[in-house]
Amino acid sequence: MTPAGLTSTNGSKTLSRPVIPQNEGKTDLTPGSDNSVIHLALPKGRMQEGVFKVLADAGIQIRIGSRGYRPTLSLPGFETKILKPQNIVEMLHLGSRDIGFAGADWVRELNANLVELLDTELDPVRIVVAAPKSLLEGGKLPKGRKFLVASEYETLTKLWIKRSGIDATFVRSYGATEVFPPEDADIIVDNTATGATLEANDLMIIDEVMKSSTRLYANPSVVKDAAKMDEINRVLMLMRSVLEARKRVMLEVNVTADKLEALVAQLPSMREPTISSLHGDSGYAVKAAVPRKELPILIPKLKAAGGTDVIVTGLSQIVP
């Protein structure tokens, strides 16, 4: 969107831009579209690889032909297009797309009326406020002065300026926001995964606006369409099964009969572990799907409880 000029908000000059229009219900903007078809938007850019991988692991094949922006899915009744995440938010809001993947930050930024169907937890970032360390006094902004704030996020930044009560002028950045300070801006509002880029530019995080990740959204009218939601829910089930499997591993461990209960007590399994007798009544084999992140602590506990022959294997899908 193109800046429309300077406007005044609470005495502060800001660069303004159009806001996507608010509408009630779904407006079909696709000429000659089939209302039985589910129009899916897939993200272009850094989100694409992660989303495509989840779909592929769920058994959903994506074929990209000569028309690279219009791939086909191995799902009957779905039509797809690859768009920038910001455009996906707009198209979902206006109704030309039924469902699509986008960042929570851009949904909030564009004030879009959408329904979140799934948080993939992919591409997690924080939208933060940062400033040069040399500007700060005790880790905080100095009082009694005006600031220039640069960001790609106009709505989020204006809300933060209002909430913080500072006297500030907003200027839009078009990427590489972290290089604005100190010559061209005092403060920035930007997304960060690790904070490393901010640190490399001698910037310190002074506030957090929100957390964001790649999520699947729907136009509100689609949620009311029972036929479409039946198909969408099948896809959601497959995606959730992949995402859940990524968080867990299958752990197998042998244990003697006298130590079985003590070992089972250490297992954070989904329900009850599977227990089977070893040949010759020499003990038991215990099997459970456990959180992957707990392995560094869990395996030593199992060994201490008498477990032997620990085997850890990956999972592809978990369907409750």
User: Where do the structural domains in the chain lie, given as residue ranges?
Assistant: 20-121+214-245, 126-213, 247-314
pLDDT category, 308, cuts 50, 70, 90?
very high
**CATH fold of 126-213:** D-Maltodextrin-Binding Protein; domain 2 (3.40.190)
- The continuous run of DSSP H or E covering 2 comes out as none
Instruction: Return the HEC string of 20-72.
Output: CCCCCCCCCCCCCCCCCCEEEEEECCHHHHHHHHHHHHCCCCEECCCCCCCCE
**Topology agreement, domain 20-121+214-245 and domain 247-314:** no
What is the overall mean pLDDT for the chain?
89
- The continuous run of DSSP H or E covering 104 comes out as helix 104-109
Read off the pLDDT of residues 144-202 as tens digits, 9 standing for 90 and up: 899 999 999 999 999 999 999 999 999 999 989 999 999 999 999 999 999 999 999 99
Domain 247-314 belongs to what architecture?
2-Layer Sandwich (3.30)
Total-model pTM = 0.83
CATH code of the domain occupying 20-121+214-245: 3.40.190.10
User: Can you give the pLDDT at residue 30?
Assistant: 43
Give bridge partners of residue 148 from the DSSP assignment: 169
User: Can you give the pLDDT at residue 67?
Assistant: 66
User: Both tokens of residue 107?
Assistant: 């949904």
Calpha distance 312→287 (Å, rounded): 10
